[in-house]
Chains A and B, each alone.
Chain A
Amino acid sequence: MTESTRQPILVVGAGIAGVSAALEVAETGHEVLLVERDPSIGGRVLRSFQYFPKFCPPSCGMEINIRRFVRNPRVRVMTNARVVGATCRAQSWSVTISKAPAYVNDRCTACGECSKVCPTKVADGFNLKLVEVPAIRPYHLHAWPRRYVLDRKACSTNCKACVDACTYSAIDLAATEQQETLEVSAVIVATGWDPYPIERLSDLGGGVFPDVIANVMLERLASPSGPTGGKILRPSDRTPPKKVAFVQCAGSRDVNHLAYCSGVCCLDRRTPGRNEKLLTQASEVDGVKLVKGKVGRIERDDAGTLVLRVEDVESGRLLKASADLVVLATGMMPGVRTDWLPFALKKDDDGFAVDDPEQRVFVAGVTRRPEDVAASVRDATGAAARALAAAFKE
């Protein structure tokens, strides 16, 4: 046995791919360190209303994973943490993890007394800033570790209302950043993805008209734990829209935006995998009209209605379709930004990361290629196996 076989494997990012990879490694009996920059695990999937195509709440699947974590002593989960230093050696990596100040520590029981007295409101990052919440709050309904978060920068000077309200001494406003350096045998990168920003699609009204929103925003609006309690309301006037237009493939397979296909936001009514039946079902729903053609422009008429210009390729006619709310299905950009990791990843032509076996760096999930949840989980299993093989290699 070499030294590296006793060192943990580092997994960066606790979205569905990182969580799956960490659990797969740990359940073989190997040590794992899972580092997540957010206060809670779950990543993008937990922000969805329903898991596709089964239409069940994603929190349900995450609960199963949390149980696996709780039962397994070999996983160490560090939330609010970033990898800030990394040096690759012959048999191991030396990594430095920075933990954000723990203003709320693990004595927190999530009783909620602090939120009630907090005088400051901040934009809710988890809900894509669609709503305002107290500066001290649960990160989201299903957050794990179950511990409140404090947006310390937003606090007014000398305010300690939350500290006074907390009966568990769980709040320390003077907490500082902590750093820890340790040795790991291999690295699994599962830093996930960012939605392509709709502001770059100004021809489609992205960032121009408030009622043109991104698909990820619709997921939050539809979610019972979202900013509107599950009611889909127009951002402009908070009324339910009568007619909603879904613009698929917005900014994807497009040399001016994302040249690749993300496979989850389709033009051409593509149905990757087993989804054809779902398309048939959707097209049979009353009031649903499917049009093949890329929307070129969205304007707003004098009455405030959004007007989409699109050629219906099947009839050969130019349509001007009106809608109260437009949802742009934008693609996924790989989470390979340099501020997410202290070392450079090998990349493919589209900017997605690829394995670097010589350095014992393995990539899982959408960081590696655009894919849906099920494929990410399978992908994570593969990355776990490759990382374990590298860790055990003499």
Chain B
Amino acid sequence: MATDTNIAPSREFRDEVMRRGGADVARCYQCATCSSVCELATEANPFPRRQVLAAQWGLEERLAKDASVWLCHQCNDCTARCPRDAKPGDVIQAIRGIAIEKLAFPSFMGTLVARADRTWPLLLGVPLLFWVVLLGASGSLTTASLVYHNFVPHKFIYMVFFPVTGFATVAILIGAWRFWNLLGKGAARSGSFLAHLVPVLADIVTHRRFASCGQTVSRRWAHFILVAGFVLAAIASGLIIPAMYVFHVELPIAFWNPMKLLGNLAAACLAVGTVWLIMNRMDHTGRTGKATGYDWFFLVVIAVVVATGALVEVERLAASPRAGCLLYILHLASVTCLFGTFPYSKFAHMVYRTLAMVHERMAAPAGSSNQSVL
């Protein structure tokens, strides 16, 4: 090497990687099988060998500005082939989890969600308690009705979800800004953000990168259906507003109404995608990657949202107001939790991974391999 490089190892970071799923990181002996079997690794900037070494050495700063960590789609081909069973896929997953925590604004929220394996009762319980108190205080709790807006007036929905969503948006934007600046320190960029965002979004929509994943290729369609469910749900919810206030559609919307059908299709997609992903993850637990409590948290919250949402609708048919209202509270609480933890849970990968993919396109090819060879 031409010049000496001073490195600043962090024992705490290494311990954190090991705690968060990368327990076997120290087994790695740098043979580079992982990089050579990774379908997403590029010739100029292969991963994850260097990232695993950086994790072993506790080189937190280096990893914070390394987009490669986010380009990994966790197919675990590397873990399946790793001769030392160091589980590079789990190590990279742990690094991403730590990054989400470190980028979080406010930071205590990041810490709280990062420890979701222990804090989940709090993360789900606080929104639940909040809704119970709100509805109790307003007297709604005593007026169980299957016309749910009689039970929870729309103003309550707006009162809660506008601030929660606004807060989450501001928080993730701050995280995104921090992340983008860090990546810029890792490699110089050129070109226009928007021009590169378009092909990245096309990649995301088609789930092209998932197609290369050998071990867990079925995840491509499971994830695709889940994303489709979120998009359809967003469209359906977006349409409700003008329907109610411009066209004065009567609530509850009839089952045959296209908006209702769209909403139900979204719910079906979310349900199928979630169950499929959960099954996939359970199938692959062990040899090809292990999910931690933090990894499970996001998926479980989605599962609760979907399950309670579907049951609320079914209850309307079964005509049990008390059960319907109870499920509705659970549904509102889980949605609040999902939105509120968005910038801190695995949900945040939506933003960070997208940015990393744009960064990869904008970073000069020479610049990315400019860092010293570890």
Which residues on A are within 8 Å of B, measured CB to CB?
Answer: 203, 249, 253-257, 267, 293-297, 309-311, 313-320
Contacts and interface: CB of A to CB of B under 8 A. Distances in A.
A147 B140 CA distance: 102
Given A318-B35, A318-B46, A313 B85 contact: no
B81 A311 contact: no
Interface in B53-100: 81-85
A256 B83 contact: yes
B30 interface: yes
A296 B83 contact: no
Q: Tell which of B34, B43, B45, B374 has the most Cβ of chain A within 10 Å.
A: B43
B49 A255 contact: no
B32 A294 contact: yes
B36 A311 contact: yes
Contacts of B50: 316
Contacts of B44: 317-318
B37 A313 contact: no
A249 B33 CA distance: 11
Contacts of B36: 293-297, 309-311, 318
Interface string B23-43: 000000111111111000111
Given A203-B81, A294-B83, A316-B46, A311 B373 contact: no
B372 to A, nearest CB: 8
B30 A313 contact: yes
7 tightest A-B CB contacts, nearest first: A296-B36, A254-B83, A296-B37, A311-B35, A311-B32, A294-B31, A316-B373
Contacts of B369: 316-317
A128 B135 CA distance: 81
Say whether chain B's binding surface is mostly helix, strand, loop, or mixed. loop
Contacts of B83: 253-257, 294
A120 to B, nearest CB: 44
A254 B37 CA distance: 15
Given A253-B29, A297-B36, A318-B35, 11 more contacts: A203-B81, A255-B83, A255-B84, A293-B36, A294-B36, A294-B83, A309-B37, A311-B36, A311-B41, A316-B50, A317-B369
A315 B49 CA distance: 13
27 contacts: A249-B31, A255-B85, A256-B81, A257-B83, A267-B31, A293-B32, A294-B33, A294-B36, A294-B83, A295-B36, A296-B34, A296-B35, A296-B37, A297-B37, A309-B36, A309-B37, A310-B36, A311-B36, A311-B41, A311-B46, A316-B46, A316-B50, A317-B43, A317-B44, A318-B35, A318-B36, A318-B46
B57 to A, nearest CB: 15
B234 to A, nearest CB: 38
Given A293-B36, A310-B32, A313-B30, A318 B43 contact: yes
A309 to B, nearest CB: 5
B239 to A, nearest CB: 47
Contacts of B37: 203, 296-297, 309
Q: Which of B35, B41, B81 has most chain A Cβ within 10 Å? A: B35
B74 to A, nearest CB: 18
A333 to B, nearest CB: 16
A319 B33 CA distance: 12
B373 A315 contact: yes
Nearest to B374: A316
A129 to B, nearest CB: 29
Contacts of A309: 36-37
Contacts of A257: 83
